[in-house]
Structure 1
Amino acid sequence: MTSGKDSVVKLWELSTSRCLISYTGAGTLGLHTHRSNAVFNHTEDYVLFPDEVTKSLCCWDSRNADRQRLLPLSE
């Protein structure tokens, strides 16, 4: 899994270098200043990605890329 400063998270098939699924809609309209890593939760049911511009945590269903929640983060 990769994530970029454009807030797009991608899951890759390493043996073929093919993007399997893209997780979009994290809430950022611009580029991040800092790198942020996307992670799976402990059951790998969800992908989590912090958005520095909106100060929120984006959560997607890991299997179909449906955005589940955009949770506010406190400072």
Structure 2
Amino acid sequence: MGRHRRGARREVTVADLIDALRRYPADMEVRLATQPRMPQEHSIGAIAEADGLVWIGEGRQEGYASDGVAERLGWR
């Protein structure tokens, strides 16, 4: 999600996000990983629409994501 087969970036739509999340149990918690070189783990904050986009706000930093998370995200 977020990249075409040839590696070119593309925008993720609401439908893309819903489809990706459907693979997981509805009661699983969601985290946001940022900064590929030192992956940080953040909770999800507010979700809102503005300027024709859906925004997912950062809640709080929970710590650092594991090496396994970075590998699964394709960062290592």
Q: Do they superpose with TM above 0.5?
A: no
> Is the radius of gyration larger for structure 1 or structure 2?
2
**TM-score normalized by structure 1?**
0.29
Structure 1 or 2: larger helix share? 2
Q: Which has the higher contact order (CA 8 A, sep 6+)?
A: 1
TM-score normalised by the chain length of structure 2: 0.29
